[in-house]
Homo-oligomer: A and B are copies of this chain.
Amino acid sequence: MDILIHEVGLRDGLQMESEPVPTITKMQWAETLADSGLDIIQLGSFVNPKVLPQMADTDELFEEVKKSGKFKAKFSALILNEKGFERAIKADVDLICMGVSASETHSKKNTGMTVEEALNRIIKIATDAMSIGKDVQVSVQSAFGCGYEGDIPEERVYGIVEQYFNNGINKISLADTAGYAYPTKVERMFTYLQKLNPKAEFACHFHNTYGLGMVNTYVAMQNGVKYIETAFGGLGGCPFTKQPAGNVCTEDFVYMLQKMNLRTDIVISKIISVAKYASGFFVKDLPGYLHKIWREQ
């Protein structure tokens, strides 16, 4: 089983924190996370700095990591629109992430667009990016339900993903923005989509609103999902959802993998050091478990 970890704490983790993290500290965290052996590190998002000032230094972070050139890890960023795309190209982002919400209400609150408007725009940007050789991952947010709308019909999610497929975009993430996913649904949806396009590569992104993030991630992984999105310390949550809750915790997830004899190449203590540092930085308990009890062996 080939499991790759996409660490999203510097983006999905920090966007929820009101206290801005200095660029130099973010850079330390990014370096340590990359050194740990995690596969993809999301450095931030190219969004309006007035809306999310915590992400304003994303360009600068890319400049730093690209300048050093010493990392094996790839670096990703989230974009919402054409302007973000231009910045991502300039920053030489390794994996450009973008997506739409399956929920009209969440789409409106998050982007000001309907789902269809957002989808047409994202597909255009994604295909443009691919046409110049960029690696792209597209997502469906609120894919398992919405904090505002409740259940989201699975057919609506499948319809969005089919449009991605029809446009040649085969790296697909289903994001559980509201934390509504549960094991049988996770299994059903990924199984359906894999049958639809056996060549596609899938990613999952679960939040812990109801305490099911880890079990959902495990079920996704058992059902062929290759890219697992997690955040150090279990930080995170979308500021534009109703009940934001942390991501699946990277080091807890890696701990589970390693107990199962997977990804023993990752140096877990490095991820833990970032979680501990972040807990101290924000002067609060983080949701993850491992960093609270870890002692070096």
Contacts and interface: CB of A to CB of B under 8 A. Distances in A.
Interface of A: 182-185, 208-212, 214-215, 218-219, 243, 245, 249, 252, 255-256, 259-261, 288-290, 293
Contacts of A214: 211-212, 214-215
A260 B211 contact: no
Determine which residue in A182, A211, A212, A288 has the highest number of CB atoms from chain B within 10 A of its CB, and name it: A211
Given A215-B256, A256-B215, A290 B182 contact: no
Contacts of A219: 218
Contacts of A184: 259-261
Nearest to A255: B210
Given A183-B218, A293-B243, A211 B259 contact: no
B259 A182 contact: yes
Given A214-B214, A218-B183, A208 B289 contact: yes
A210 B252 contact: yes
A256 B212 contact: yes
B259 A185 contact: yes
Nearest to A217: B215
A14 to B, nearest CB: 21
A182 B260 contact: yes
A215 B248 CA distance: 12
Nearest to A260: B184
A256 B289 contact: no
Contact of A218 (B215, B259, B289): B215
A217 to B, nearest CB: 8
A289 B211 contact: yes
Nearest to A182: B259
Contacts of A261: 184
Contacts of A215: 214-215, 218, 256
A284 to B, nearest CB: 12
22 contacts: A182-B259, A182-B260, A183-B256, A184-B259, A184-B261, A208-B289, A209-B293, A210-B289, A210-B290, A211-B214, A211-B249, A211-B252, A211-B289, A212-B255, A212-B256, A214-B214, A214-B215, A215-B256, A218-B218, A218-B219, A245-B289, A245-B293
Nearest to A219: B218
A210 to B, nearest CB: 5
A50 to B, nearest CB: 30
Contacts of A256: 182-183, 210, 212, 215
Q: Nearest 8 pairs between A and B by C-beta?
A: A211-B289, A182-B259, A211-B252, A215-B215, A184-B260, A215-B218, A214-B215, A243-B293
A290 B211 CA distance: 7
